[in-house]
Structure 1
Amino acid sequence: MANAEQYVLSIDLGTSGCKVGLVSLTGDVVAWAFRPVQLLVVDSIGAEQRPQDWWTAFVEAAREVLSLGNVSRSDIVAICSSTQGEGTVPVDRNGQSLMNAILWLDMRGARYLKREMRGALKVAGYNAIKLQKWLRLCGGAPALSGKDPAGHMLLVRDAFPEIYQRTYKFLNVLDYFNLRLTGRFCATQDSILTSWVTDNRDPNNIRYDDDLIAMSGIDRDKFPDLVRCTDVIGTILPDVAEALGLSPKTPVVAGAIDNTAAAIGAGTIDDYDCHLYVGSSSWIAAHVPFKRTSVLDQIGSIPCAVPSRYLMIALQSSGANNIAFLKDRIVLHDDGLVQGEPSADTYRVLDEIAARQPMGADGAMYLPWLFGERCPVDDQSLRAGIFNLSMEHNRETIVRAVFEGVALNTRWMMKPIQRFMRRRPETITMIGGGALSNAWCRIYADVLNVTIHQPHEPMKANARGAAFIGAHGLGLMRLDEAVRHVKIERSYEPSPPATRFYDERFGIFTELHSRLAPLYQKLNGSKGSKNE
């Protein structure tokens, strides 16, 4: 039985860094710390991070949280993680990483994946025979942009053959963290998904398929054993226990990748109840009772932590990373032009600027494709830009345009999502760092024409979801019981005049994509596709 004095040490490792929280079984975050992690851009289309940087960030943040003394260490009943998905870490038999982690943004594997698609008959760029098998068994197919482990592993195999030979296992980010915590090589039913080697037709019995593994081009023995998100996979290693000051008997629950944990931490566990995550990336997701795939729209329903259910996910590469880009590369970029100390709370100031600027940014429009896009078009050549600037505009105009442009990009997914779910969502719970912005929640409500729910501490939803998964894994609480503790602080109803205005703007947004896509292809299309 659960009691109010039990806590989970929850790890939320995103692209921007590692957050660690002490979360009660009722979802209260009583201690919180964050450490940033550097993103490394390689050859303009590659994105990497150092796995040791993840671990160092975790240990430092965990020590800070534990040192606060808010909770007795004896009341910590488990460690459970939520991490960025679709990253790839090749490790040797000793669990040592052999190179930097290849992230979900990385497109270098596209050229090698396209070689695997050779065949007489193609559908939407895929080998038709392979595509049919992927869809039937997996419920999806490798991203032709190369942004998932299917492309990453081929990149290692063909571009770094010496590392491929030394690789004992390919691990996703979550799997690597669990290895560092417990010493166990394993993958969860959701972390393995975008390797596209598992039969997902029974959500309660996800298993490897020999034919799919053969299609992947990767040796069978390089894939780790499979576990469920709610499985207890071991206890923490002695060196981890010593570093954190925890009992070496502390259990580790397998946990989940970010979109799975977020759906639970947002409280959206019922069928078709949508959440919108706005962090470095962005997605809309909802649990559904069926396995279905839309190849053209890049939407699928995937295995998740909730028994007997799938999670519909529509993922975009562009989210609050656009605001981070605006802050770090434009507003606060250290080039000698601006002197003085930056604001201690730049994001709050940007939110205030966006709120006071007129709807429509005085005609300026922002296209938020900093690193290509995935849904509803899988196009690695797209890039960001500001359209229709004039002499009357200023930096404040651009701030408002960026906020609106990201929301318009999300709206681009809504029609395919409605087709996929065969219903229109009336409400969406918004989480992630972007949901801290009241101005953005208002913009999203008007742009999407839905009621936006803003939960308490929306940036901590992933950590809260990991805690709920941990509690379920220990048998302390069912997931449907846990999500009842998620509190909605504020709701934003769409304004009909604003919605009509954004309807027109959305038409211009999609027309800009149609007209500019061929130019983006000319400028950027050759990147990642050489030597095909």
Structure 2
Amino acid sequence: MSAGHETRYVLAIDHGTSGMKPAIVSTKGEVIGFEFEPTPVHLYPGGGAEQNPVEWWTAFLKASKRLLERRLVPDKDIVAVCDTSQWSGTVTVDENNNNIGNAIIWMDSRGAPYIDRALKGHVKIAGYPLWDVLRWLRKTGGIAAHSGKDPIAHILYLKHEHPEVYKQARWFLEPTDYINLRLTGKVATSVATVTLLWLANTRDINKVHYDNSLIKRMKIDKTKLPPIMRSVDVLGPLSKEVANQLGLTQDVKVVVGAADVPSSIIGSGAVRDFEGHVYIGTSTWISCHVPFKKTDIGHNFASVPSAVPGRYFIADEQESGGACLTYLRDKVFYPDDPDRFGKREVYQEFDRVVEQVPAGSGKVIFTPWLYGERTPVEDRNLRGAFNNLSLETDRGQLIRAVFEGIAYNSRWLLGVIEAFIKRPMDPLNMIGGGAQSDIWCQIYADVLGRTIQQVENPVQANARGAAFIAAVGLGYAKIEDIPKLTKISKTFKPNPKNRRIYDVLYGEFLNIYKTNKLLYRRLNASPEA
């Protein structure tokens, strides 16, 4: 029997902002089991957001040991480990491969002033010097965001604010690359993961490489950047130490993998060109594969190299999705209730409440920009709000308004993406923790006016994507097999009556942004505000 017909298993690591979630996934995409270990986020004044890489690794070992001790599959049938981590983070590593302090994660905007300082010029487009825009878009498909949340901004922040850390650094790694380093002792990044550094020339999808002129323009040290490999390449065997800790053999291969967005698009099953998916986790996004390299600088997204060799996908992200429900649970409703604070079961309570509230939430409109926004507008000063409250507004309407407001934000993004690809995306596969909610899937169908396909076990899409990447890399599967291996649990069609309600409220959602964006700038642009 050829490798492509055998079923083996992958220890797939879904490393999100909220914690480590290793899973055992078959090379056919079946999730056998998983464990979760939380990791905290540390927020600081001025837009700082960090996590401790040692806590990541400790959480990975704890959760993986619990998972493997369940003996769900024979250890000998686990052939690979593949990680998919939160994207757009920076881990500083010294010459001994130890992290230097905390990781700067995707939410951190402290590097924003240094992007503006590095990219100075008089003739500007979208806030960038025209010449820089032209050469960056031609070479990379994008340019460092003004928000300061890309890794290049993190590196510049360290260079200017913590020069001793910058000098001591041997490598600047994405979270995925750091976990791979801990697994193997080897340093590399992937074609798909390196994109948001905006220093890699991607014009030839099969020969992605660092661009010396761009690196010189940003005035950083090229020798501190990791080598680039394909996502499906084998980085190396599991190190002896890690193999012993997990009870696996060194025959287990570590596949390079990719960050969460490129991995999830594979795990969604929507891998053919223009097949779309929606992700609702801590953040949200809408994406699809495309056969071209193209950029929409006005809306801050682009098609960039995929984890699928030789392909591009649309990279975008909206800052706050499920994070808004976490905020509602832990900051508004239950900050002092030990039975509900931090408990996932509260989300099911929210579902039951929302099901009883009519569409439109009494015309209460929630804007979900609790941590600024990336797409379809890049504005770190935006903030969230409940709009149109009255003395009649009740708890259920507030909760449903949050569900709806996140969907309005996704509709805003969907519109610019469909204009970008010049066609509608219908149906849309839905994945992520939010996709476990039937009522939220229906709200999305109604707000977007698209058929929503709830992917089976949607919260495991990232892990499933990592497993598929490993399976392809080791010859156990082919990319074209993935759609038929991806199962759909339920399908949600738009309700015409609800759609009419949402069309009106969505228009007002956009008006709220247009009316208040200058207010948010005045309130939040200054660090002292």
TM-score normalised by structure 1 residue count: 0.97
Shift in CA distance, 9/507, structure 1 to aligned 2, threshold 3 Å: same
Q: 2:234 aligns with which of 232, 246, 253?
A: 232
Gaps of 5+ in 2: none
Q: 1:384-426: CA deviations, max 9, x gaps?
A: 1111111112222211110001000111112211111011112
Mapping 1:393-408, distance limit 5 Å:
393-408=393-408
Tell me if 1:348 matches 2:357: no
Tell me if 1:211 matches 2:196: no
| Distance in 2 between residues matched to 1:422 and 1:524, nearest whole Å | 36
Match of 2:440 in 1: 440
* Paired residue type of 2:493: E
Shift in CA distance, 50/341, structure 1 to aligned 2, threshold 3 Å: closer
**Are the counterparts in 2 of residues 196 and 216 from structure 1 also a CA contact under 8 Å?**
no
| Distance in 1 between residues matched to 2:74 and 2:95, nearest whole Å | 36
CA positional deviation for 1:483: 3.5
| Distance in 2 between residues matched to 1:72 and 1:3, nearest whole Å | 18
**Are the counterparts in 2 of residues 31 and 68 from structure 1 also a CA contact under 8 Å?**
no
Work out the number of aligned pairs and report it.
526
Gaps of 5+ in 1: none
Q: 1:306-350: CA deviations, max 9, x gaps?
A: 12210012311111111111112122212xxx6866777111111
Moved beyond 3 Å, runs of 4+? 2-5, 338-344
Q: 1:84-104: CA deviations, max 9, x gaps?
A: 100001110111111211111
CA positional deviation for 1:244: 0.4
**Are the counterparts in 1 of residues 271 and 482 from structure 2 also a CA contact under 8 Å?**
no
Mapping 1:111-510, distance limit 5 Å:
111-334=113-336, 345-510=345-510
**Are the counterparts in 2 of residues 403 and 440 from structure 1 also a CA contact under 8 Å?**
yes
* Paired residue type of 2:144: P
Q: 1:176-229: CA deviations, max 9, x gaps?
A: 011010111111112111111111011121111111111222111111111110
**Are the counterparts in 1 of residues 230 and 309 from structure 2 also a CA contact under 8 Å?**
no
| Distance in 1 between residues matched to 2:194 and 2:469, nearest whole Å | 18
Identity of aligned residues (%): 41
Q: 2:29 aligns with which of 27, 34, 40?
A: 27
| Distance in 1 between residues matched to 2:445 and 2:200, nearest whole Å | 37
* Paired residue type of 1:152: H
Q: 1:152-189: CA deviations, max 9, x gaps?
A: 11001101100000010100011101101011111111
* Paired residue type of 1:148: D
CA positional deviation for 1:4: 5.2
* Paired residue type of 1:159: E
**Are the counterparts in 2 of residues 289 and 308 from structure 1 also a CA contact under 8 Å?**
no
Q: 1:417-474: CA deviations, max 9, x gaps?
A: 1111011112111100010011110000000000000011000011001000001111
CA positional deviation for 1:496: 1.5
Per the alignment, in what secondary structure is the counterpart of residue 416 of structure 2? helix
**Are the counterparts in 1 of residues 6 and 476 from structure 2 also a CA contact under 8 Å?**
no
> Greater shift after overlay, 472-481 or 372-381?
472-481
The RMSD of aligned alpha carbons is 1.4
* Paired residue type of 1:447: V
**Are the counterparts in 2 of residues 435 and 458 from structure 1 also a CA contact under 8 Å?**
yes
Q: 1:230-266: CA deviations, max 9, x gaps?
A: 0000011111111101102211000111111111111
CA positional deviation for 1:2: 3.7
| Distance in 2 between residues matched to 1:494 and 1:513, nearest whole Å | 25
* Paired residue type of 2:48: G
Per the alignment, in what secondary structure is the counterpart of residue 25 of structure 2? strand
CA positional deviation for 1:305: 1.2
**Are the counterparts in 2 of residues 130 and 215 from structure 1 also a CA contact under 8 Å?**
no
* Paired residue type of 1:367: T
**Are the counterparts in 1 of residues 367 and 385 from structure 2 also a CA contact under 8 Å?**
yes
**Are the counterparts in 2 of residues 4 and 26 from structure 1 also a CA contact under 8 Å?**
no
Q: 1:108-157: CA deviations, max 9, x gaps?
A: 00011110121122211112211111100001111110011011110011
| Distance in 2 between residues matched to 1:330 and 1:33, nearest whole Å | 29
Shift in CA distance, 340/458, structure 1 to aligned 2, threshold 3 Å: closer
CA positional deviation for 1:501: 1.1
TM-score normalised by structure 2 residue count: 0.97
